[in-house]
Structure 1
């Protein structure tokens, strides 16, 4: 993630996504990136599917992880970093066309842990999956 310390401008969604090459490779698009809500999408493509033309669970988890990580990052103290310590996903229905939207919101933004909840929905606004991530806050490095 870009270093936002020393800058009064928040990173743009494009800046944040550029730091996540795997998400870029999958085709994740980051629409909005705010501390209170991050929104990302992933378009169904055949090469991201499993049997029966269903979008692979790993692709759905990657979309949710991307949105959740950005949301967690935007809720960190200045100079701090983050790493995922737990991620749980409930899959509720298959996606066989269109796209999936991930909406991530912080449930808790503390000094040692950020917990983010992400809802995954299809084009018909039906809930596809629900994720909860716990992100450890890594303190800013101290100068030598």
Structure 2
């Protein structure tokens, strides 16, 4: 049950992030909203960093290499989600509690996806409204088709 829940959460995270990062205008990755606020590319990099931290519950990992260009960060995001999903799919034992994984890295990642969506609107590139309850989110499907 736990594995299924976490895998569906990761598919949901990926689905929502895809809405935020797909078909962005050229100015979006480096869009500056104000002093001290991360740009979208910095946020996406941070999301991958916290997901990598989450993956450290399962395996030894290397730290991030700093913010890269947008397409590399997009790929890094999907790779990070896929690694976590695979760890759950293979029932790899966790070094820390699943509750800490949810309340820390996974909740943090979902929060930052919401920030990416808000920045899209501020960058004059809002996404159309979506009903996430009706969304076709499938466990194990991480990358957009």
TM superposition score normalised by structure 2: 0.31
Which structure is higher in strand share? 1
TM superposition score normalised by structure 1: 0.31
**Higher relative contact order, structure no. (Cα contacts within 8 Å, ≥ 6 residues apart):** 2
